[in-house]
Amino acid sequence: MNTENIQVPTMAEMASKGEQPEVLFWVGCAGSFDDRYKKVTKAFVKILNKVGVKFAVLGEEETCTGDPARRAGNEFLFQMQAMSNIQVLDGYGVKRIVTACPHCFNTLKNEYPALGGNYEVVHHSQFLQELIDEGKVRVKEGGGFKGRKITFHDSCFLGRANNVYEAPRKVLESLDAELVEMKRCRTKGLCCGAGGAQMFKDAEPGNKEVNIERTEEALDTGASVIASGCPFCMTMLSDGVKNKEKESSVEVKDIAELIAEAEDLV
Amino acid sequence: MNYLSQIAFVLVLAIAGYFLAKRIKEIRGNILLGKDVDRSDRKSERMKSMLLVAFGQKKMFKKMIPAFLHLLIYVGFLVINLEVLEFIIDGLVGTHRIFAGPLGDAYTVALNIFEFLAIAVIFSCVVFLIRRNILKVDRFSGIEMKSWPKLDANLILVIEIILMFAILTMNATDQILQTRPDANYTQTGTMVFSATLIPMFDGLSTTGLIITERIAWWFHIIGIFAFAIYVTYSKHLHIFMAFPNTYYANLNLKGEMNNMDEVTNEVKAMLGVGGASTEPPAEISRFGAKDATDLNWVNLMNSYACTECGRCTQQCPANMTGKKLSPRKIMMDTRDRIDEIGKTGGDDGKSLLGDYITKEEINACTSCNACVEACPVNIDPLSIILQLRRYVVMEESSAPQSWNSMFSNIETNFAPWKFPPTDRFKWANDLKTEEKE
Ligand code: SF4
Ligand code: SF4
């Protein structure tokens, strides 16, 4: 793809031109700062560019949704974050939001309304599925994934928290790879260990780390790609794969990266 | 003679009724010690969920074998209640098998169904006893499954078996008596299952049979009353609580944490956002929950509905990796504590957080909702955990140090990590330079 033309418009730029994007891409803290997840952000932006979706980001105006603060018990901090974010979002008249982070997704979608922030929020797996259904993303001959085994790790905040189980699987099916399920999947999926603000502290004493338990299960499927749709899951599973010294044979990839790869965008 | 037994029956009924009513009042009172939460909305959705989950046992069918056996006991329980009705009428009026006459052949069919279910209940109870005590299914152990919870589970299974045998004995002796002209018993037709017990009692004299039949009858009905009272002290309260519990359960998506409106007002004032209410803030006793009375009544009702089946704990990622957290324990602790408060008034210097549940436990929760999903009666242990966390952070300021750092990062850098906010959009530049390379 002609790389120099990649556009990442901000809401502020759009507003100054008097324009309104179809959708705001909420990048999230991990997507903005985490080196690994920045790749997912970029992959998704490339897809948006390729398809010609009129989108924008908040750029430096974006701040933490407050999810980790709230789950840890700091309701004050959560509401401070939420209300200032709502002011910014409403200031730009945002209607529709897409995000690659299930924690941002859950909070924006389910928890902002109680504080006056009402938006249509979709997870990027749902957005990608829409694009595939509309024929805007068409993975050519399975995008070189034929014969490979992929397993999808359900993020708790996407799955059990919001009942989104099929969209990411539909997206992966378009890759024409063999989708294999782990022993615990969908409603019975096993957490990566990072939710509920666990990402930001050491685990309590136990006899195993949750991410190791989950990684073992993922490796048991024999898949060469562990697909996820969440920055926390990605970190936890990548660490797990490293711990098991399997990083040369097993990759942890976000669904957006897989689509971008199949589309020759990376 | 007959009057005597009627009087005895009325007495037994009255005593049982008194204790039962007292206990129901106690439990209701304990539940109402919780804070208010409005669950009067979406009535038809609630009804539907109750019918599916409690009446229809929907969530049990994630595990087929226990679901099937449990279903036998459940249907047996529902149907045998009809027979209990006959027992009560007979006991009060002094009749014998009052439904036999009006129902005719249908009575025979009904009795055979009862007996089949009695056998099914015995079968299921025996399998459950084996699963608990011999096969040692993991779910039934754990730190919270100490002496009483273990005994409670076994007791009920044994009691149910004995009660069912009482019915069968009663029917067997009754059938023999029907053949004795000197007894002049109501004819019921053949009851196939108890008929197999006939050889055991065939040798008895008519008087012996009458006495055996009466003993079995009294044993069964007193057993049922005792069972009803016992249930209120036991995890088996779920047979009643499952219904209100599924009706009043949270219907929102599991990911949504409830908003604390008392905080909203303060935050609005702090940010100078419009809409902050001008009325003086209502007296807020406490942010989050420290003791069982700080929880809402649905949380407390949940604790009485808990079956201690351990499906939640079995699915809990923290528990399965050896951390102290067990959502089942959270529910059992909550119930034990509110029971205690009901008795002592709660001025005992103890609290749910600290004396029952430790910070180590609640801090280990990933808020993954696996426990909520797993619970067959829609209990929400996560809700309690999150309220306890709110207390720890907002009232005690004693969250783990690394969480405090995360909080201050969000406050100063607007991200949970220590990155300057000006770096937030750097990825976009990277994107362009990367591509040029
Ligand atoms: S929400 Fe918490 S308590 Fe429930 S299963 Fe997940 S980690 Fe365990
Ligand atoms: S909370 Fe639900 S799943 Fe857990 S032990 Fe109690 S009844 Fe079973």
The one-digit pLDDT tens for each residue of chain B (437 residues) are 478 899 999 999 999 999 999 999 999 999 999 999 999 999 999 999 999 999 989 999 888 999 999 998 898 888 888 888 999 999 999 999 999 988 889 999 989 999 999 999 999 999 999 999 998 888 888 888 888 898 999 999 999 999 999 999 999 999 999 999 888 898 999 999 999 999 999 999 999 999 999 999 999 999 999 999 999 999 999 999 999 999 999 999 999 999 999 999 889 988 887 665 556 555 667 999 999 999 999 999 999 999 999 999 999 999 999 999 999 999 999 999 999 999 999 899 999 999 999 999 999 999 999 999 999 999 999 999 999 999 999 999 999 999 999 999 999 999 999 999 999 999 999 887 775 54
Count of all residues that appear for chain B in the document: 437
Same domain for B237 and B376, yes or no, is no
Q: What distance in Å separates the CA atoms of residue B350 and residue B340, rounded to the nearest whole number? A: 10
Q: Are residues B70 and B190 in the same domain?
A: yes
Amino acid identity of residue B437, one-letter, is E
The mean per-residue pLDDT over the stretch A62-89 comes to: 98
CB burial of residue A72 (10 Å; 0-12, 13-18, 19+): buried
**Whether residue B358 sits in one domain with residue B209:** no
How many Cα atoms are found within 13 Å in the side-chain-facing hemisphere of A246?
21
At B114, the amino acid letter reads F
Instruction: Specify whether B275 is located in the same domain as B236.
Output: no
CB A118, CB A150: distance < 8 Å: no
**CA-proximal residue: ligand 1, atom 4 (nearest):** B371
Of B266, B400, B416, the CB nearest to A29: B416
In a domain, B31, yes or no: yes
Cα–Cα distance for residue pair A80/B200, rounded to 1 Å = 77
In total, the C-beta contacts within 8 angstroms joining chain A to chain B are 224
Q: Which residues contact A199 (CB under 8 A, 6 or more apart)?
A: A68, A232, A235, B416
CA nearest neighbour of A98 among A73, A72, A69, A128? A128
Helix pair A231-243, A210-220: axis angle to 10 deg? 80
Domains of chain A: 11-129 (3.40.50.1860), 139-263 (3.40.50)
Q: Considering its fold, how many domains does chain B have in total?
A: 2
- B52 and B163 within one domain: yes
Nearest to A201 among B62, B264, B400 (CB): B400
Under 8 Å between Cβ of A263 and A48 = no
Inter-chain CB proximity B373 and A115 less than 8 Å: no
- The reported pLDDT for the residue numbered A266 is 75
- Three-state DSSP class for B367? coil
Q: Within a domain: residue B368?
A: yes
* Region A107-120 average pLDDT: 98
User: Which tens digits make up the pLDDT trace of A78-107?
Assistant: 999 999 999 999 999 999 999 999 999 999
Phi, psi (degrees; rounded to nearest 5) at A99: -145, 150
> Last residue of some domain: B222, B248, B274?
B248
- Same-domain pairing of B115 and B231: yes
- Which of the 8 DSSP states describes residue A152? E
Rounded CA-CA distance B24/B88 in Å is: 21
Residue B383 is assigned to a structural domain of this protein: yes
- Measured CA to CA, the distance from residue A100 to residue A243 in angstroms comes to 26
Q: What pLDDT is recorded for position B280?
A: 58
**What's residue B273's pLDDT?**
75
CA of B155 to the centre of ligand 2 (A): 19
Determine, for residues B415 and A68 on separate chains, whether the beta-carbon distance falls below 8 Å.
no
- Of B62, B300, B311, B333, the residue with max ligand 2 atoms within 8 A of its CB, to mutate for a pocket test, comes to B311
Side-chain-side CA neighbours of B78 within 13 Å: the count stands at 8
**B414 located within any domain:** no
- What does the alpha-carbon distance between residue A157 and residue A159 come to, in Å, rounded to a whole number? 6
CA of A191 to the centre of ligand 1 (A): 9
- Three-state SS at B418: coil
pLDDT in tens, A209-239: 999 999 999 999 999 999 999 999 999 999 9
Same domain, B242 and B267: no
Contact A81 B410 (CB under 8 A): yes
Structural domain including B17 reads 3-248
Regarding beta strands A23-26 and A96-99, do their DSSP bridges make them parallel or antiparallel, or are they unpaired?
parallel
- Whole-prediction pTM value? 0.94
User: Does the residue B115 lie in any domain?
Assistant: yes
From B215, B248, B281, the end of a domain falls on B248
- Say yes or no: B198 and B270 in one domain: no
B102-125 burial, b at 16+ Cβ within 10 Å, e below that, comes to ebeeebbebbbbbbbbbbbbbebb
